[in-house]
Amino acid sequence: MILLKNIFYLVRDSLRIEKNIDLLIDGNRIKQIGRINSKNPQNNIEVLDCKNKAVIPGLINAHTHLWQSMLKGRRDDLSLVPWCEQVIYPFIQVLREQVKYTRASEIGYLWSMLGAIEMIRAGITSFVDMDSGYFAERVPQAWLDIGIRGVFSVEMVDKWVPDNIRIDPKHEKENILKLIDAWHKYSRGEPLIKVAMSASAPFTCSEELLSWILEQSNKYNLAIQIHVSETKWEVEQCLRNIGKTPLKYLESIGFLYRPIMAVHCVHLTDEEIKIAKKHSVSVIYNPKSNMKLGSGIAPITKMLKEGVNVALASDGTASNDLMDLFEEMRVGAMLQKVAHEDPAVFSAQEIFSIATEGGAKACQIDAGKIDEGKLADITIINLSSPHIFTLSDDIIPALVYCAKGDDVETVIINGNIIMQNKQIMTIDEQMIVKEIEKISKKLKNDLK
């Protein structure tokens, strides 16, 4: 059992804040919240002192591409399509070449671990990974080793990808089924890993592929994630080729039969927002990525007004380039304010809720709030840094606008202390970083 003692601010959710209280974790769940005596002799209780700390639900990063962990800081002047052509595809090509030199699955394991370390250090306890079809075999193994909760999916695509990096469709499907088989079977007894299906986008997947994805999703009871209406260009393509906007098209082919996660939705029409609500689509908001690629500003305020569930995400680190949801929260809120030229249009509480409860709902994880019985996914923030000093008791705005990933001191996932006092407890971070540096030297040369 773990006892969080003398919590200065306990943020149960965006609206319920308590002060000077204790929290007891038993197994992987929150057992009790209140004034709790730590001197109970029959139990082996680990006590964490939470004076001058804020204890919040672990943040949920509802969309990333961990295989981009090694692509930070490359180009910032390209919109989605040329960015794919000039940043993403060349890297995939280099990866394919690497197979000759390296144990392929080792690269996947290392980029996965690099991303997991970054997220834990920033207080993220759960995430959805849309990985590449390359080297994905051991990607979730890294999450098990470090102890983070992840939804594992591999992005499928059969249109619009150049021949030199395309996996042939038959082989791609076999590969996915093999991965599902390996990890979905495994995950039944393992609360940290979930498997999901993922499709690149309506304009990059054939209707046949989308149907196949939906079929597997039904068969194995898996969530689905898909990029939708990220750019105007894509919406225009869809209208020209199919005569429908992307989400409307997905509805028309029955793809919204299950409650999918629709990533971006920057250019959703009012009609599509209603469609999203009707089919319980969760919209994944990636404000910084949408800004950096110049994609546009998603109509999140409208979506919330319509009752659509919204989650927050960093997107892959080639288009952000950080997985720090504190920064993502404030930028996401500020972006709505400036888009409407009205600061009242979006509150710190709303974005906090999106980054916690919204993500939990989208990913179907029993976390995102701090309540008795909920999963013990908890982030502890040190409030003593000068940049976070506040005279306000309104701790949510202070956290949203002032906290940085580096203020996260301790992270508990599934009832386990994964990071304590900024030290990751479950893996040898130094050794991992050294291995990453070794492998990256070769990759770096090939990328030149």
Task: Compose the 128-167 pattern: x for residues touching a copy of itself by CB under 8 A, - for all others.
Answer: ----------------------------------------
Provide the mask over 407-446, with x wherever binding to a copy of itself is found by CB under 8 A and - wherever it is not.
----------------------x---x--x---x--xx--
Choose one: 1-9, 56-64, 370-378, 383-391; the region binding a copy of itself (CB under 8 A): 383-391
Sign of CA dihedral 156, 208, 265, 245: positive
Min separation Cβ 400 and a copy of itself, Å: 8
Contact flag: residue 405 with a copy of itself (CB under 8 A): yes
Measured between alpha carbons, how far is residue 20 from residues 377, 392, 396 in Å?
20, 16, 16
Task: Supply the minimum distance, in Å, between the C-beta of residue 344 and a copy of itself.
Answer: 4
Q: Does 83 bind a copy of itself (CB under 8 A)?
A: yes
Distance CA 260, CA 281 (A): 5
How many CB atoms are located within 10 Å of the residue 75 CB? 12
Q: Which of 37, 42, 164, 392 binds a copy of itself (CB under 8 A)?
A: 392
Binding segment for a copy of itself among 28-36, 153-161, 184-192, 401-409 (CB under 8 A)?
401-409
Helix axes 104-121, 139-146, angle to 10 degrees: 40
Least distance CB 157 / a copy of itself (angstroms): 22
| 84 C-beta neighbours (distance < 10 Å), count | 18
**Which one of 185-193, 238-246, 371-379, 390-398 is the stretch in contact with a copy of itself (CB under 8 A)?**
390-398
The whole-angstrom separation of Cα 310 and Cα 393 is 27
Select 111 or 183, whichever has its Cβ closest to a copy of itself. 111
Binding mask 14-43 for a copy of itself (x = CB under 8 A): ------------------------------
- Contact of 301 with 267, CB cutoff 8 Å: no
Q: Between residue 318 and residue 337, which ones bind a copy of itself under the rule CB under 8 A? A: 320-324, 327, 330-331, 333-335, 337
**Residue found by looking up tokens 């939705």 in the block:** 265
- 414 φ/ψ sector (left φ>0, alpha ψ -120 to 50, else beta): left
Contact 2, 415 (CB under 8 A): yes
Q: How far, in Å, CA of 133 to CA of 137, rounded?
A: 9
What is the nearest approach in angstroms of a copy of itself to the Cβ of residue 222?
Answer: 30
Helix (H/G/I), strand (E/B), else coil: 33: strand
Closest to a copy of itself by CB, 313 vs 443, is 443
Q: Least distance (Å) from a copy of itself to the CB of residue 123?
A: 12
CA-to-CA distance for 72 and 230, rounded, in angstroms?
A: 20
One-letter amino acid for residue 5 of the chain: K
The nearer residue to a copy of itself, 72 or 244, going by C-beta atoms, is: 72
Query: Quick one: 31 or 72, whose CB is closer to a copy of itself?
Result: 72
3-class DSSP state for residue 349?
Answer: helix
- Residues numbered 50-79 forming contacts with a copy of itself, rule: CB under 8 A: 69-79
Q: Torsion-angle region of residue 422: left (phi > 0), alpha (psi -120 to 50) or beta?
A: left
Residues 289-318 that bind a copy of itself (CB under 8 A): 290-297
Question: Tokens 């606008």 sit at which residue?
Answer: 401
Three-class DSSP category at 246: helix
206/390 with CB nearer a copy of itself:
390
Give the span between the Cα atoms of 152 and 108, in whole angstroms: 13
Q: Are 301 and 336 in contact (CB under 8 A)?
A: yes
Cα 172 to Cα 205: distance, rounded to the nearest angstrom = 13
Touching a copy of itself, residues 87-116 (CB under 8 A): 114
- How does DSSP assign 391-413, residue by residue? S-S-HHHHHHHH--GGGEEEEEE
List binders of a copy of itself among 257-296 (CB under 8 A). Answer: 288, 290-296
The verdict on 355 binding a copy of itself (CB under 8 A) reads: no
Shortest Å, Cβ 259 to a copy of itself: 29
With CB under 8 A, what is the number of residues at the site for a copy of itself?
75
Q: Is 47 in the site for a copy of itself (CB under 8 A)?
A: no
Touching a copy of itself, residues 213-252 (CB under 8 A): 232
The least CB distance from residue 406 to a copy of itself, in Å, is 4
